[in-house]
Amino acid sequence: MSNSTSAHFPNLSRRDWLRLTACGTLGISQSGWLAALADETAKSPDRKRSCILLWMTGGPSQTDTFDLKPGHANGGEVKPIDTSVPGIQISEHLPLLAQQMKHCAIVRSMSTKEGDHARATYLMRTGYLPQGPVQFPTIGSVWSKELGKAESELPNFVSVAPFRFLSPGAFGPGFLGPRHAPLVVGDGQPGGNTDYEKSLQVKNLAVGKDVAASETDARLDLLSGLETDFLKRNPGVTASSHRAAYLAAVRMMRSEAVKAFELTDETDALRDAYGRNQFGQGCLLARRLVERGVPFVEVSLNGVPGGAGGLGWDTHQGNFEGVKSLCGVLDPAWSTLLKDLKERGLLDSTLVIWMGEFGRTPNINAMKGRDHFPNAWSTVLCGGGIRGGQVVGKTSDDGMKVDDRPVATSDLLATACLALGIDPMKQNMSNVGRPVRVADPEASPIHNVLA
């Protein structure tokens, strides 16, 4: 009988399995080298870039963050401040980020047409509009598939606190399948989560407290016997993916790299700088994961602890207080992330993207709120592969339309692909048997923001 399996799943022998279960083999051989390795990967020219996506659930107001309109009624009460880059001004609520502006390229001319949370979220996070039965994967799945290694100790895609409810399809691996699904940590409920120390841990990573380590090994050994017999009877991808997932799970349970989730290893000063909240600590986690070779991490900002309780940046009412308190979480986390990456030599190899599903109306409604607005809004690209300290595009004085260089979703995502070193024209086979490209082939990347 042939030992055929797909190219993705090397046939895992009983011995491979046992090697993992044999007490501590992995643990011992790996202790100590991680720090050295992290240092090496950061410097290696072969290293592909990693990506950290800061996802702003609900759609943040561009007028109160990156595209201020002082002197116009639409501008509202938020004041602009100078940044470390002469000529670029941003919101007074982002003073720390203003000091990092040399790493950032602000895109002020997003123009996307979708004003519904579900559809816009799907579009921004997959690069495509929903099309019948095609299950488009989220960019984290697509990009990490290109950037990651099959046998890494940690999953190639980690998602921190996703709020999936409005558009679940926009957060999953779609037609790429569960092998490219994110490892999800954190609590995605809006309103912020105070128990972040616990929720940022990987669920079910530790065996039950009643189960001794020797018992786990014995159980895995029993399981290994069952699996070997079963695979012999039923060779093929489906069954071996099960085994591969268990191997990856055990590998992670017993790896040194999983210490990425132990945020208490960091100094109090640094943890304070990121902000003692789920988003801030999520950004710190993102750095620790990227440092250990994880190619795609996303961190969602869905709300503020003790905040109004609405959905993140969906500030239909009380926009100005909402934006201010959200920026209070965003500003220290994001700016510390950039500084921290820079100090560790990781910023050149890490692309940081800031975006939500759309912007908000420049005009202010009767409830002092701003509504959904896809016509002219802002996103920000920073770090690896990006020529920072510049602004792309321009909106009109009232902010109602794009005056220069409209940027479609596909343009932005294709630009990010190029910054990461991914071929946007590469194809994946979809669930309907039609090939789908990494980015929409009609995209026109923003070449002048690329380093």
* Shortest separation between residue 173's beta carbon and another protein, angstroms: 8
Site residue total, another protein (CB under 8 A): 70
Q: Which helix (H) or strand (E) holds 250?
A: helix 237-253
Q: How far apart are CA 444 and CA 442, in angstroms?
A: 7
| Closest among 313, 352, 355 to 336, alpha carbons compared | 352
Contact between 222 and another protein per CB under 8 A: yes
Q: How far apart are CA 298 and CA 412, in angstroms?
A: 17
Contact between 236 and another protein per CB under 8 A: yes
One residue of 75, 148, 169, 190 binding another protein per CB under 8 A: 169
3-state secondary structure of 143: helix
One residue of 132, 267, 343, 447 binding another protein per CB under 8 A: 132
| Nearest to another protein of 130, 318 (CB atom) | 130
One residue of 18, 253, 418, 450 binding another protein per CB under 8 A: 253
Question: What is the DSSP track for 192-244?
Answer: --S-HHHHTSPTT-SPPTTS-HHHHHHHHHHHHHHHHHHHHHS-SHHHHHHHH
Contact between 246 and another protein per CB under 8 A: yes
Q: How far is CA 400 from CA 57, 72, 108, 111, in A?
A: 22, 12, 12, 11
Stretch that binds another protein, among 103-111, 249-257, 265-273, 325-333 (CB under 8 A): 249-257
Using the structure block, give the residue that is written with the tokens 């993207």.
353
* Shortest separation between residue 119's beta carbon and another protein, angstroms: 10
Where in 5-64 is the site for another protein (CB under 8 A)?
none
Contact between 243 and another protein per CB under 8 A: yes
Contact between 367 and another protein per CB under 8 A: no
Site string (94-123) toward another protein, x via CB under 8 A:
----------------------x-x-----
Contact between 81 and another protein per CB under 8 A: no
Contact between 72 and another protein per CB under 8 A: no
* Shortest separation between residue 253's beta carbon and another protein, angstroms: 8
| Nearest to another protein of 169, 383 (CB atom) | 169
Using the structure block, give the residue that is written with the tokens 């309780």.
309
Q: Which residues contact 216 (CB under 8 A, 6 or more apart)?
A: 207
| Nearest to another protein of 87, 133 (CB atom) | 133
One residue of 42, 248, 416, 438 binding another protein per CB under 8 A: 248
* Shortest separation between residue 409's beta carbon and another protein, angstroms: 17
One residue of 46, 214, 343, 366 binding another protein per CB under 8 A: 214
Q: Which residues of 323-361 are buried (b: 16+ CB within 10 A; e: fewer)?
A: bbbbbbbbbbbbbbbbbbbeeeebbbbbbbbbbbbbbbb
One residue of 46, 204, 269, 366 binding another protein per CB under 8 A: 204
Where in 402-431 is the site for another protein (CB under 8 A)?
431
Q: How far apart are CA 391 and CA 293, in angstroms?
A: 30
Residue 404 forms beta bridges with which residues? 394
Q: How far apart are CA 1 and CA 94, in angstroms?
A: 64
Q: How far apart are CA 182 and CA 185, in angstroms?
A: 9
| Nearest to another protein of 251, 394 (CB atom) | 251
| Nearest to another protein of 189, 448 (CB atom) | 189
Stretch that binds another protein, among 196-204, 335-343, 358-366, 436-444 (CB under 8 A): 196-204
| Nearest to another protein of 95, 235 (CB atom) | 235
| Nearest to another protein of 183, 381 (CB atom) | 183
Q: Where are the alpha helices (DSSP H) in 264-408?
A: 268-274, 278-291, 319-343
Q: Which residues contact 132 (CB under 8 A, 6 or more apart)?
A: 432
Q: How far apart are CA 28 and CA 158, in angstroms?
A: 26
Stretch that binds another protein, among 241-249, 354-362, 408-416, 439-447 (CB under 8 A): 241-249
Q: Which residues contact 160 (CB under 8 A, 6 or more apart)?
A: 185, 186, 200, 278, 282, 285, 286, 297, 298, 299, 300
Contact between 208 and another protein per CB under 8 A: yes
Contact between 152 and another protein per CB under 8 A: no
Q: How far apart are CA 399 and CA 412, in angstroms?
A: 20
Site for another protein, rule CB under 8 A: 1-2, 4, 116, 118, 130-133, 135, 155, 165-169, 172-175, 177-179, 181, 183-184, 202-208, 210-212, 214-215, 217-219, 222-223, 225-227, 229-231, 233-239, 241-246, 248-249, 252-253, 431-434
